[in-house]
Structure 1
């Protein structure tokens, strides 16, 4: 058996699984400290389907801890951004496009140093160790505890980033965390650099959060390995999370979409995940979320790490309803739903109250919403359906029909049919689809580089890149026989010499429980 847990802003969902079979599914309110909500969810699973700790082989968790910390600009470490690229790149220094409040929150320091590469691996300038030592001394003087190192075209050649990290570590000691951009983002200097700085700022919090999650699970007598789900629907172990917390940012929507695929049997569809705070709309292609092809803005910062292409609406079970306009959200009572909503004895009109009044949900005290006018209730639900339908239409890339799957506890707000899209599929255990998605997550490996392809070598280059992605997946803990390539892109770059081509390959495989 294994357990999937998804921690959202309003609810913490958990599912006890035997392979792909759901043995039990529960929904608990997310607690302010988060970990006690996980404890309560695991205890509820035990009540539904008794089990012993030694029977659990793995625990998979999706969490919003890190994205919330960035959005709220709190609990971030003093961070420095060091770019290797002089004499180039002076015009746009590190952190040039960051919101001022975030720069302040991380006590930001930025530095430029010699180094970097051209797209084909030719050096821009040699590394200057003495220059790096001067920067390190300034970092130490300003209390920097985490450093993000980015080099021009480091995804092509990352040697200089590794050398710079050695110099910094010798000067600053092992207590200062160092994040390297070639391990974080893709081609695109500013976006990759920004993603690396975010990762560096979250490193201290990652240790605290991982320890807290582990303590919550261990308190239930479960000694199985703990994994956290990544943005692309694959898994990473707790040590990986300590180094790359930024990889968890979009795990919530991704888990929901993967869970929707598993429970509905549809591997290509539109998925609407309605939680307590937001409704996330995305597209599943071959069982995995369609990834964003452009830079992704997170808390006002442009990044280019792997993120699903998701459109979020401020509509959820805890969303406030305007009695004058029948508009829903974006404000939400969040995890306070069970105390503030009308049906639970509170004084706030929420979308959950509307669902109960319409007979779509049976929770709380229905008599407390009996006074709501039926025409008003219908107007609210019609507005919700219209906004969701428009969002799906905005997300799809062709006029071809696409099935729609609704998951999440708040999906009771949606009608059984949605305009031109027809029937809305609600699979079994739809309310905890995100926890199911976390529990079935696989292991992945991705290669994204620019190659100079000589005439007559294309087939061999592509085969080598595919094999590199497969090897990376196996090294991450996948069962070798289960690994397959699920995504492949080959884009010629005409403005660069040498028949330059950007190749991206993604492979996934089943987690080896013995690994």
Structure 2
């Protein structure tokens, strides 16, 4: 048996899954400290299992992305770039919002090093520079560093050597490497690495808190966190790469929608309590964003799902003047206190759903006074906005199937323009937690190769095998691993037949790993 948990802005969902069967579900209100909500959600499943029968627990959490958005709990971080005498025109943090930069200290250092696209050295690494940097960051109380070397995706040698020098001078220093986090594009890769480094201390605290919350329920099974590509990572990996959890909530919903509906190629619309997330599935996995991703005003380029989010959900505030407007503000986890159906004084989308007979929650008599024209107008407004977002996600004019999931999906009536069919599967309100519970383990390769014509197949096979090996090392059952994506992009602006190769492999979790 597996337990899947998803922490949303309004609700924390938990499900008990055995194979392809959903045995029990529970929805609890998300709490300010998050951990309490997890304990309550898992407690709601206790009637259906014995703690010893649980073999794994999978959690999708918003802890880390919320910390960046709110600028809280971030560690004092140093950004060390290896590239002198190049790259001086645009130093680290050059495009960061000042408030976020100040929250992590904004300590930036430029040192010699780096490589060209073909592996040639820009300038040798200077150990004396790095020792001086180590002394300075120690004086400033910095606990975490982000090391970025020019074209480290071609050669990671300088990043690793720099880390050896720094940690020898400052024992206990937490190091994040850009070649392990970002992709091509120096500033975006560096930014992603800095964000990861700033979350490392918080990751230690949250990992310990999650273990304690499960121990309180008598559960000693291994704990895994959902990644933003629909796969899992163990707790030790999460301590090192917390940035990989960003957007894991929408990803879990999409994977859960595919699992529940049996549809691997479709659009998934997840209507939650606070937001609606729309994404595309291909071969059962989310389509990845092909361009840069903005995180709290910072441009990054690490792996993220291609998801459109709008401020529309069950907790969205409804306004009638000067025209009908739903959201983007939401009562969030305060829905049970502020919505009309619970005796509150705020008109929400949930109240409209109850008045329309689409949902049975709270006290329906408290919304009988709502005008029928208002109710229809709100539902039409919701349908039109979702239809517009689905249309933007399409890559062809052909109608496509849509899977509706999330507790707020009751707001969407059947019949969306441009859609071939709507599927609202059983347990759709818990698709996010189910997506976490059934997630697999993945491995990925994404770097630049020199593609000599006679060796092209050999290089692609090597990339595939490396992705498979990474999946197995991450905890996948070797017999179940398969390649789900292979992409080769020739880099015409670089000489030497250079190509960017991306390969992804996934496999079932090997329990007892």
Q: TM-score, normalised by structure 1?
A: 0.98
- Which has the higher mean CA deviation after the structures are superposed, 271-280 or 131-140? 131-140
Match of 2:267 in 1: 270
The whole-number CA distance in structure 1 between the counterparts of 2:510 and 2:304 is: 25
3-state SS, counterpart of residue 367 of structure 1: helix
Per-residue CA shift, 1:142-198, capped at 9, x if unaligned? 221211000011111101100000111111211x21111111111211111000000
Per-residue CA shift, 1:451-486, capped at 9, x if unaligned? 111231111111111111111111111111111110
The answer to whether structure 1 residue 430 and structure 2 residue 424 are counterparts is no
Question: How far did 1:423 drift?
Answer: 3.4
Match of 1:393 in 2: 391
The answer to whether structure 1 residue 321 and structure 2 residue 323 are counterparts is no
RMSD across aligned positions (CA): 0.8
Match of 1:236 in 2: 233
The answer to whether structure 1 residue 284 and structure 2 residue 281 are counterparts is yes
Question: How far did 1:422 drift?
Answer: 4.5
Task: Indicate if the aligned counterparts of 1:296 and 1:307 stay in contact, CA closer than 8 A.
Answer: yes
Greater than 6 Å deviation, 4+ residue runs? none
Match of 2:355 in 1: 357
Per-residue CA shift, 1:392-430, capped at 9, x if unaligned? 000111011210011000001101121231532100000
The whole-number CA distance in structure 2 between the counterparts of 1:165 and 1:416 is: 56
The whole-number CA distance in structure 1 between the counterparts of 2:352 and 2:379 is: 8
Task: Indicate if the aligned counterparts of 2:152 and 2:159 stay in contact, CA closer than 8 A.
Answer: yes
3-state SS, counterpart of residue 44 of structure 2: helix
Q: 1:83 aligns with which of 81, 84, 87?
A: 81
Match of 2:401 in 1: 403
3-state SS, counterpart of residue 485 of structure 2: strand
Match of 2:305 in 1: 308
3-state SS, counterpart of residue 292 of structure 1: coil
Match of 2:214 in 1: 217
The whole-number CA distance in structure 2 between the counterparts of 1:207 and 1:417 is: 46
3-state SS, counterpart of residue 98 of structure 1: coil
The whole-number CA distance in structure 1 between the counterparts of 2:184 and 2:396 is: 28
3-state SS, counterpart of residue 394 of structure 1: helix
Match of 1:255 in 2: 252
The whole-number CA distance in structure 2 between the counterparts of 1:423 and 1:509 is: 30
Task: Indicate if the aligned counterparts of 2:391 and 2:418 stay in contact, CA closer than 8 A.
Answer: no
Match of 1:93 in 2: 91
Q: 1:196 aligns with which of 193, 196, 206?
A: 193
Task: Indicate if the aligned counterparts of 2:355 and 2:368 stay in contact, CA closer than 8 A.
Answer: yes
The whole-number CA distance in structure 1 between the counterparts of 2:376 and 2:169 is: 65
Tell me the number of residue pairs that the alignment of Structure 1 and Structure 2 aligns: 512
The whole-number CA distance in structure 1 between the counterparts of 2:207 and 2:253 is: 22
The answer to whether structure 1 residue 42 and structure 2 residue 39 are counterparts is no
Question: How far did 1:199 drift?
Answer: 0.3
Task: Indicate if the aligned counterparts of 1:78 and 1:201 stay in contact, CA closer than 8 A.
Answer: yes
Match of 1:132 in 2: 130
The whole-number CA distance in structure 1 between the counterparts of 2:453 and 2:5 is: 50
Question: How far did 1:107 drift?
Answer: 1.1
The whole-number CA distance in structure 1 between the counterparts of 2:291 and 2:182 is: 12
Task: Indicate if the aligned counterparts of 1:415 and 1:424 stay in contact, CA closer than 8 A.
Answer: no
The answer to whether structure 1 residue 505 and structure 2 residue 480 are counterparts is no
Match of 1:439 in 2: 437
Give 5+ residue unaligned stretches, structure 2.
none
Per-residue CA shift, 1:312-350, capped at 9, x if unaligned? 010011111112222110101111110110101111111
3-state SS, counterpart of residue 456 of structure 1: helix
Q: 1:113 aligns with which of 111, 114, 125?
A: 111
3-state SS, counterpart of residue 251 of structure 2: helix
Match of 1:145 in 2: 143
The whole-number CA distance in structure 2 between the counterparts of 1:424 and 1:31 is: 33
3-state SS, counterpart of residue 153 of structure 2: coil
Task: Indicate if the aligned counterparts of 1:60 and 1:226 stay in contact, CA closer than 8 A.
Answer: yes
Residues 160-199 of structure 1: matches in 2 within 5 Å?
Answer: 160-174=158-172, 176-199=173-196
Task: Indicate if the aligned counterparts of 1:280 and 1:311 stay in contact, CA closer than 8 A.
Answer: yes
The whole-number CA distance in structure 2 between the counterparts of 1:20 and 1:34 is: 28
Task: Indicate if the aligned counterparts of 2:156 and 2:179 stay in contact, CA closer than 8 A.
Answer: yes
